[in-house]
Amino acid sequence: MAPILQLKGITKRFPGVLANDHIDLTLNQGEILALLGENGAGKTTLMNILYGLYQPDEGEILVNEQKVIINSPTDAINTGIGMVHQHFMLIPVFTVTENVMLGSEPVKMGDFLDRPKTSARIHEISQQYKLEVNPNDYVKDLPVGVQQRVEIIKLLYREANILIFDEPTAVLTPQEADDLFSIMRSLVKQGKSIIFITHKLREVLDVADRIMVIRRGAVVGEADPKIADKNKLAEMMVGREVNLVVEKEFKEPGEVVLSVKDLVVANQFKQVMVDHVSFDVHAGQILGIAGVQGNGQTELVEAITGLDKSASGKILFKNEDITNCTPRKITEVGSAHVPEDRQADGLVLTFPVAENLVLCTYYKEPFAKGVVLQYDKILENSEKLISDFDIRTPSSLTPVGSLSGGNQQKVIIARELSRPIQLLVASQPTRGLDVGSIEYIHKRIVQKRDEGCAVLLVSPELDEVIELSDRIAVMYRGKIIAIVDAGNVTKETLGLLMAGIIPEKIEKEQGEKVVEITF
Amino acid sequence: MTTTTAPSTAVIQRARISDISRTRRISTGVIEILVAVFIAFVFARTLQPDMFTKFVMTPGGITVGSMGDWVIRSQFTLYLLAALCVVIGAFQLIKGFGKFTNLMVGFVFLFLIFSFLTWQAAGKSLNLAGMLSSSVQLAVPITLGAFSGILCERAGVVNIAIEGMMLMSAMVGALMGSITDSAWLGLFFGVLSSVLLAALHAVLSIKYKIDQIISGTVINMFSAGMTAFLSQKFLQTRQELNNPAMFTRVEIPGLAEIPLLGPIFFNTNFFVYLMFALLIVIQVALFSTRWGLRMRSVGEHPKAADTLGINVIKTRYMAVLLGGLVAGLGGAFFTLGSVGRFDEGMTAGKGFIGLAAMIFGNYTPVGALGAGILFGFADSIGSKLSLLGSTIPSTLMSTAPYIITMIVLAGFVGKGHVPAADGVAYTKE
Give B-chain residues touching A102 at CB under 8 angstroms. Answer: 293-294, 297, 304-305, 308, 310
The chain A residue lying nearest B20, using CA atoms, is A270
Please tell me the distance in Å from B114's CA to the nearest CA on chain A: 34
Given A238, A268, A288, the domain boundary residue is: A238
Q: Could you give the CA distance from residue A25 to residue A33 in angstroms, rounded to a whole number?
A: 10
CA atoms within 13 A on the CB side of A415: 27
How far from chain centre, in Å, is Cα A335?
25
Assess contact for B114 and B81: CB atoms under 8 A. yes
A356 assigned to some structural domain? yes
Assess contact for B9 and A146: CB atoms under 8 A. yes
pLDDT at B3: 35
Q: Are A176 and B309 an interchain contact pair (Cβ–Cβ within 8 Å)?
A: no
Q: Could you give the CA distance from residue A442 to residue A247 in angstroms, rounded to a whole number?
A: 9
| CA-wise closest residue to B354 among B164, B102, B217 | B164
Q: How many CB atoms lie within 10 A of CB A203?
A: 20
The chain A residue lying nearest B293, using CA atoms, is A102
Q: Using CB atoms, which residue from B19, B288, B309 is nearest to A113?
A: B288
Peptide linkage before A15 cis (omega within 30 of 0): no
Q: Does residue A349 share a domain with residue A264? A: no
Give A-chain residues touching B289 at CB under 8 angstroms. Answer: 107, 111-113
DSSP H/E element including A223: strand A218-223
Q: Does residue A362 share a domain with residue A315? A: no
Residues whose CB is less than 8 angstroms from the CB of residue A47 and which lie 6 or more positions away in sequence, other chains included: A35, A83, A164, A166, A195, A197
Q: Are A146 and B8 an interchain contact pair (Cβ–Cβ within 8 Å)?
A: yes
| CATH code of the domain covering residue A253 | 3.40.50.300
pLDDT at B13: 65
Q: Are strands A112-113 and A210-215 parallel, antiparallel or unpaired?
A: unpaired
Assess contact for B122 and B74: CB atoms under 8 A. yes
Q: Could you give the CA distance from residue B246 to residue B187 in angstroms, rounded to a whole number?
A: 10
Q: Using CB atoms, which residue from A105, A141, A272 is nearest to B15?
A: A272
Looking at A292-331, which runs of residues are DSSP E strands?
A: 312-317, 320-321
Q: Is A73 on the interface with B (CB under 8 A)?
A: yes
Q: Does residue A347 share a domain with residue A290? A: no
Give A-chain residues touching B429 at CB under 8 angstroms. Answer: 48, 53-54
pLDDT surpasses 60 at A8: yes
Q: Are B9 and A264 an interchain contact pair (Cβ–Cβ within 8 Å)?
A: no
Q: Is A492 on the interface with B (CB under 8 A)?
A: no
Q: Does residue A476 share a domain with residue A371? A: no
User: Could you give the angle at which helices B400-412 and B350-360 cross, rounded to 10 degrees?
Assistant: 30
Strand partners, B85: none
Give A-chain residues touching B307 at CB under 8 angstroms. Answer: 51, 53, 73, 83, 85, 89
Q: Are strands B70-73 and A471-476 parallel, antiparallel or unpaired?
A: unpaired
Please tell me the distance in Å from A112's CA to the nearest CA on chain B: 4
- The domain B129-412 belongs to what CATH superfamily? ABC transporter involved in vitamin B12 uptake, BtuC (1.10.3470.10)
Q: Could you give the CA distance from residue A455 to residue B50 in angstroms, rounded to a whole number?
A: 78
Q: Are B8 and A143 an interchain contact pair (Cβ–Cβ within 8 Å)?
A: yes
Percent of chain A with pLDDT over 70: 95
Q: Could you give the CA distance from residue B174 to residue B343 in angstroms, rounded to a whole number?
A: 10
Q: Are A176 and B8 an interchain contact pair (Cβ–Cβ within 8 Å)?
A: yes
pLDDT at B60: 80
pLDDT surpasses 90 at A455: yes
The stretches in chain B having pLDDT less than 50 are 1-8
Tell me which residue range forms the domain holding A209.
Answer: 5-238
Please tell me the distance in Å from A55's CA to the nearest CA on chain B: 11
Residues whose CB is less than 8 angstroms from the CB of residue B57 and which lie 6 or more positions away in sequence, other chains included: B66, B67, B68, B69, B70, B128, B129, B259, B260
**Most confident region among A369-383, A387-401, A457-471 by mean pLDDT:** A369-383
Q: Does residue A385 share a domain with residue A254? A: no
Amino acid making up residue A182: S
- Kindly report, residue by residue over B317-353, the tens digit of the pLDDT: 999 999 999 999 999 999 999 999 999 999 999 999 9
Give A-chain residues touching B290 at CB under 8 angstroms. Answer: 105, 107, 111-113
Report helix, strand and coil shares of chain A as percent, to nearest 5.
Answer: 35, 25, 40
Given A354, A387, A419, the domain boundary residue is: A419
More confident residue, B21 or A508: B21
Q: Does residue A27 share a domain with residue A56? A: yes
Q: Is A178 on the interface with B (CB under 8 A)?
A: yes
Q: Are B304 and A132 an interchain contact pair (Cβ–Cβ within 8 Å)?
A: no
Query: What phi and psi values does residue B250 have, to the nearest 5 degrees?
Result: -120, 125
pLDDT at B90: 93
Strand partners, A84: A165
- Kindly report, residue by residue over A75-100, the tens digit of the pLDDT: 999 999 999 988 889 999 999 999 99
Q: Is B14 on the interface with A (CB under 8 A)?
A: yes
DSSP H/E element including A86: none
CA dihedral (B4, B10, B15, B16) positive or negative:
positive
CA dihedral (B47, B52, B55, B61) positive or negative:
negative
The chain A residue lying nearest B18, using CA atoms, is A270
Strand partners, A317: A258, A320
Assess contact for A11 and A21: CB atoms under 8 A. yes
Q: Could you give the CA distance from residue B87 to residue B97 in angstroms, rounded to a whole number?
A: 12
Query: What phi and psi values does residue A126 have, to the nearest 5 degrees?
Result: -70, -30
Q: Does residue A202 share a domain with residue A94? A: yes
Q: Which of A83, A111, A147 to mutate to test the interface with B (most CBs of B within 10 A)?
A: A111
Q: How many CB atoms lie within 10 A of CB A303?
A: 25
DSSP H/E element including A412: helix A405-417
Please tell me the distance in Å from B159's CA to the nearest CA on chain A: 22
- A201-205, A409-413, A424-428, A512-516: which has the minimum mean pLDDT? A512-516
Q: Are A477 and B14 an interchain contact pair (Cβ–Cβ within 8 Å)?
A: yes
Q: Are B7 and A500 an interchain contact pair (Cβ–Cβ within 8 Å)?
A: yes
* Residue A422 binned pLDDT confidence (cut-offs 50, 70, 90): very high
How far from chain centre, in Å, is Cα B278?
14
Q: Are A92 and B14 an interchain contact pair (Cβ–Cβ within 8 Å)?
A: no
Q: Using CB atoms, which residue from B7, B289, B307 is nearest to A89?
A: B307
Given A203, A238, A273, the domain boundary residue is: A238
Q: Is B422 on the interface with A (CB under 8 A)?
A: no
Q: Are B8 and A54 an interchain contact pair (Cβ–Cβ within 8 Å)?
A: no
Q: Which of residues 265-304 of A touch B (CB under 8 A)?
A: 266, 268-273, 275
Q: Which of residues 442-481 of A touch B (CB under 8 A)?
A: 477-478
Q: Using CB atoms, which residue from B8, B297, B303 is nearest to A102?
A: B297
Q: Using CB atoms, which residue from B15, B290, B307 is nearest to A105?
A: B290
Q: Give this complex's ipTM.
A: 0.86
| CA-wise closest residue to A263 among A325, A318, A312, A321 | A312
CA dihedral (B34, B40, B46, B52) positive or negative:
positive
Q: Are A270 and B16 an interchain contact pair (Cβ–Cβ within 8 Å)?
A: yes
pLDDT at A268: 76
Q: Are B15 and A271 an interchain contact pair (Cβ–Cβ within 8 Å)?
A: yes
Please tell me the distance in Å from A190's CA to the nearest CA on chain B: 22
Q: Are B9 and A91 an interchain contact pair (Cβ–Cβ within 8 Å)?
A: no
Across the A/B interface, how many CB contacts are shorter than 8 Å? 126
Q: How many CB atoms lie within 10 A of CB A438?
A: 20
Q: Using CB atoms, which residue from A83, A112, A264 is nearest to B17?
A: A264
- Length of chain B, in residues: 429
Angle at A237 between CA A234 and CA A242, to 5 degrees: 40
Strand partners, A263: A277
Q: Does residue A253 share a domain with residue A223? A: no
Q: Are B17 and A266 an interchain contact pair (Cβ–Cβ within 8 Å)?
A: yes
**DSSP conformation class of B16:** B
User: Could you give the angle at which helices A375-388 and A405-417 cross, rounded to 10 degrees?
Assistant: 110
Residues whose CB is less than 8 angstroms from the CB of residue A110 and which lie 6 or more positions away in sequence, other chains included: none
Q: How many CB atoms lie within 10 A of CB A270?
A: 15
Domain residues of chain B, as ranges? 22-123, 129-412
| CA-wise closest residue to B137 among B329, B355, B379, B359 | B379
Q: Are strands A423-427 and A454-458 parallel, antiparallel or unpaired?
A: parallel
Q: Are B11 and A137 an interchain contact pair (Cβ–Cβ within 8 Å)?
A: yes
Q: How many CB atoms lie within 10 A of CB A457?
A: 26
pLDDT surpasses 90 at A194: yes
pLDDT at B18: 62
Q: Which of B3, B5, B12, B291 to mutate to test the interface with A (most CBs of A within 10 A)?
A: B12
- Kindly report, residue by residue over A132-176, the tens digit of the pLDDT: 899 999 998 888 889 999 999 999 999 999 999 988 887 777 778
Number of domains within chain A: 3
Give A-chain residues touching B306 at CB under 8 angstroms. Answer: 73
Q: Are strands A210-215 and A218-223 parallel, antiparallel or unpaired?
A: antiparallel
Q: Describe the strand order of the beta sheet including A32-36 as a list of residue ranges.
A: A81-84, A162-166, A193-198, A32-36, A210-215, A218-223
| CA-wise closest residue to B173 among B330, B322, B323 | B330
Q: Are B4 and A501 an interchain contact pair (Cβ–Cβ within 8 Å)?
A: yes
Assess contact for B416 and B362: CB atoms under 8 A. yes
Please tell me the distance in Å from B424's CA to the nearest CA on chain A: 16
Give A-chain residues touching B417 at CB under 8 angstroms. Answer: 93
Q: Are B429 and A175 an interchain contact pair (Cβ–Cβ within 8 Å)?
A: no
pLDDT at B9: 53
DSSP conformation letters of A480-505: EEEEEEGGG--HHHHHHHHTT---TT
Report helix, strand and coil shares of chain B as percent, to nearest 5.
Answer: 70, 5, 25
Please tell me the distance in Å from B298's CA to the nearest CA on chain A: 10
Q: Does residue A395 share a domain with residue A500? A: no
pLDDT at A493: 87
Q: Are B19 and A89 an interchain contact pair (Cβ–Cβ within 8 Å)?
A: no
Angle at A59 between CA A55 and CA A61, to 5 degrees: 80
pLDDT surpasses 60 at A63: yes
pLDDT surpasses 80 at A244: no
pLDDT at B144: 98
A205 assigned to some structural domain? yes
Q: Could you give the CA distance from residue B236 to residue B243 in angstroms, rounded to a whole number?
A: 11
